[in-house]
Each structure stands twice: as structure tokens, then as C-alpha cells.
Structure 1
């Protein structure tokens, strides 16, 4: 069987994790062996589960953000690659530059690989390995949220500080509704550079 890379992307609150978990559940219903992962950096909601903003959760394994093929092989030694049909990764934007190679290696072994992650950071710039993953994907799905200002489709993640658009800060700031809101292009206010 030929491998396949599926990428699910969009802004915060667009349903990326919900879609990832939907695909994982369908694979399990089809009696496929599935492994679900998230980066160690993601400490929201639960440490050993991938959890949506609405509370839906599935157990997962945590991976270091700088994971490589060699490191990955060692970490999943209890779950042989050969007997796993589907590898699913949430918050893929947090993984490092070697992550697309890891995904492609799995695809080359005939595996179905599903990644979900932000396409843009809070500045509105391409985020982490997601641009490369989207380019390599056999299927790319871009989801939109609802703009909190006007109700139109939102494609940007507005970082908030004290309820106001952030004017700067580090690229990575783990958070949810307290730190981000979805915005359309018109109402997105990029931070100063």
C-alpha cells in the first residue's frame, strides 16, 4: 500500500485538532493500528492526551520538538513501525526542521501520516515546518474559524495581551482563549516588527 501525507491547517480555533481526532477515530473504526503524538511543548489541558478546545481527548505519546527519524525510531520501540498503519501528529508547527523528513520517511514505508498545525504564527508569518509539510502533502485541508470581530471566516491567530492585540513577543506562547482569538484578514492587527 502506498503511503500518504495528510495535512490539516488553519488558525487557532478552526478545528484542526477536532479534524485530526476525527480522522484518527475513523482509522480505528477501520481496524487500523494508530499512534497519536503531540510535542512535549504542548502542556495545555493534559500531558498524555491530545485535547480539543471543546474537551474531546485521546491518549497520545509526547515527542521532543527537535525529533528526528533516529530519535523517533528509538522512542517508539515498543510500537514497531511495521505494525502501525497510521501516525498522527498534533501541533506539528512546534516540531523542528527535521520533522518533514520524519513524516516523509514514514510515508515512504507505506504509512498514512496525518499532521495538524497552525500555518501562520501570531505575526501572520509561516510557522515552523508547516509550510514544507503542506507542500509535501498528498491532501491539504485549510480550515477557518469565525472572526471574533465581524463573524466572517478567520484565517489568522490574534495574540492578546490584557485583552488587546499583542505588539510583540516570542514566536511561541502556549495558550488558548486567554491568549488568542481568531481574526479575519481585515481585522487582524499584526504586531510591530
Structure 2
């Protein structure tokens, strides 16, 4: 039996990662192949039991708390497994995904590769290392309007590095604008500390 393929779709927010994942789901569905779709329970921005793109296309998904819940929910005869928002899942997802591809299933994962602090998400990096194909998406930069956005920039102060949100919290920016925005923020913070 041949092993499956691993495709990892990464990029900043608003780059069309989930839309791309949904287009792969449609290919398997049209081919009448058995599939399962998973999403982190943590990501309830639009719906708890559907993966929903920012452009509002959606597919029913099984919500999970962690990667250990995936294998027990499989029937065994799936041709492909799809997982959205992988950055919200735990690092053992790597072992789960490797087990699935070794058993002949194709696996498609989508998620952020970088946090708003420009740090790699470890679980995404681990899966990219095993991938047969990495699809690196870009977004239109919210600041300069160029199709060079690779970083999600947080426009609000609250919340940690893992902080579920949409347009109310994040914008996608290119590297140049990311550096400019950070410099501007640091200057504002300095002024506040100096009392004016």
C-alpha cells in the first residue's frame, strides 16, 4: 500500500488558506472519496462545527480539543483528512499526521506559519518539515496595498500570542510595513512612558 501525501497550506490571515483547503475538500467530494474534516474547538469565530473562510464559504467539520482526538474519530477507510487552523493544535499533531500518511491517507493542513510577533508556530513548522507540498499564501498588505502580506499584525493590545480573532484584532501586512508599524508603536510607547 502506498503512503499518502501531506499538503500544508500556510500564510498570514486573509491570504485564502481556508478557501484553498475547502477547494481541495471539493475535489475529493466531487470524486466521491471518503474524507474527514477537523478544526480546533478553540476556533469558534464563525461557527463551532464548520470551517468557514473569510469569504464565507464553509464545510462541516469535527471540532477537537487536541490532536489525540483525531485517530479515534476515523473509520479507517478515509482517502483524505483535512485539518484547519493547525496553529491552535498541540505539537503531537505531527505524529498523528505521520501515522495517517503512513497508512495511505492524504492529509491537508492549513494554518498560520507566523504569530503576530513574527515567531514561527512550532506545530506548523513541524508539519511543513514533513510535507510533500507546502503552499505559501500571501495577502494584500493592509497598509501599502501590495500583494506582499506575509505577517498577521495585531492592532489591539490585549490577549496573548494565541488569541483567536478576525478583522477586529488583526490585519495582514508585508515585512516592510510590519517593521514600520512596530517602530511607530515603540515610539508611541516611549512617549507614553515619558508622560506625553
Q: Compute the TM-score of the two structures, normalised by the length of structure 1.
A: 0.89
Partner-residue secondary structure (3-state), 1:115: strand
1:166-185 alignment runs, 5 A limit: 166=157, 169-185=159-175
1:82-121 alignment runs, 5 A limit: 83-121=77-115
Native 8 Å contact 1:94 1:128 kept in 2: no
* In the alignment, structure 1 residue 45 sits paired with structure 2 residue 46: yes
Give the Cα–Cα distance (whole angstroms) in 1 for the partners of residues 70 and 28 of structure 2: 22
1:6 deviates by: 0.3
1:128 deviates by: 3.5
Task: Provide the residue aligned with 1:73 in structure 2.
Answer: 71
Native 8 Å contact 2:71 2:96 kept in 1: no
Partner-residue secondary structure (3-state), 2:56: coil
1:172 deviates by: 1.0
Partner-residue secondary structure (3-state), 1:181: strand
* In the alignment, structure 1 residue 13 sits paired with structure 2 residue 11: no
1:97 deviates by: 1.1
The unaligned stretches of length 5 or more in structure 1 are none
RMSD: 1.5
Task: Provide the residue aligned with 1:154 in structure 2.
Answer: 149
Give the Cα–Cα distance (whole angstroms) in 1 for the partners of residues 139 and 168 of structure 2: 16
**Greater share of helix residues, 1 or 2?**
2
* In the alignment, structure 1 residue 58 sits paired with structure 2 residue 56: no
Give the Cα–Cα distance (whole angstroms) in 2 for the partners of residues 29 and 99 of structure 1: 28
Partner-residue secondary structure (3-state), 1:129: helix
> Number of aligned pairs?
180
Partner-residue secondary structure (3-state), 1:17: helix
Give the Cα–Cα distance (whole angstroms) in 2 for the partners of residues 72 and 116 of structure 1: 16
Native 8 Å contact 2:17 2:110 kept in 1: yes
Give the Cα–Cα distance (whole angstroms) in 2 for the partners of residues 30 and 73 of structure 1: 23
Give the Cα–Cα distance (whole angstroms) in 2 for the partners of residues 73 and 149 of structure 1: 42
Report Cα offsets for 1:83-140 as digits up to 9, x if no partner. Answer: 1111000001111010011000000001000000000001000014001111110000
Task: Provide the residue aligned with 2:24 in structure 1.
Answer: 23
Native 8 Å contact 1:7 1:115 kept in 2: yes
